[in-house]
Amino acid sequence: MSRIAVETRFDAQRSRILKAAASCFNQKGFSGTSLKDVADRLGLTDAALYYYVKNKEELVYQCYLRAAELGKEAMDRARTDGQSGLEQAQLYLRYHLEIMVGEQGPVAIMSEIPSLKRRHRNEVLEISRRHSAAFEAFLTTGITDGSIVDCNVRMTGNAVMGSINWVPKWYHGDRDMAKNIVTEFPVILTRGLGSDFGARSSSGDRASGGAPTAVPIEKL
């Protein structure tokens, strides 16, 4: 068997392991999950799992690196595809949610960072900070280009990112729900950001019963 084929098989199995581990950690936390839980879910022996990770701490660390990598892919794609700050923010949300509830999911929610050893914890936190800053940059771009109303970028970013980052905790594979999450969450979470919404709110339209205008789904 060629080296490339061996590497492909290794990467595919590693991905299966990290997805299974993410599901276990999301459901039962670090302390409630054992390597045996992950191995049993995949039909592997404990010894087979140790071929890929040294211990449970390394496993959760690798899960977080995978989640960060997939999130960055969504961010980079949205930066390329979006024409305004608002569209970039909406596309990022859609792309990231597609990952979370699609074939590449589940991804691990970063709720067990204290369980990591210091070097891993610092690395994951730094990656998380860069990711948040990239989303905040979309908001700043939108304020500059007029597609997003003036807002507290840091607080807005925290609110939006916090909402989607918790999805893997409560989503458990229902395909109809997955479709609704992908199509509706980007609109719901950015509805108050659009400059058109800001104009309506300031003029009192919303108070009189007028509905805010959201970016059409087909544009996402």
Dump pLDDT digits (tens) for 93-136: 999 999 999 999 999 998 889 999 999 999 999 999 999 999 99
Domain ranges of the chain: 63-219
What three-state secondary structure class fits 144?
Answer: helix
Instruction: Give the predicted TM-score (pTM) of the model.
Output: 0.84
Dump pLDDT digits (tens) for 15-67: 999 999 999 999 999 999 999 999 999 999 888 888 899 999 999 999 999 99
Superfamily in which the 63-219 domain is placed by CATH? Tetracycline Repressor, domain 2 (1.10.357.10)
Model confidence band, residue 152 (pLDDT cutoffs 50, 70, 90):
very high
pLDDT of residue 64: 96
Dump pLDDT digits (tens) for 124-139: 999 999 999 999 999 9
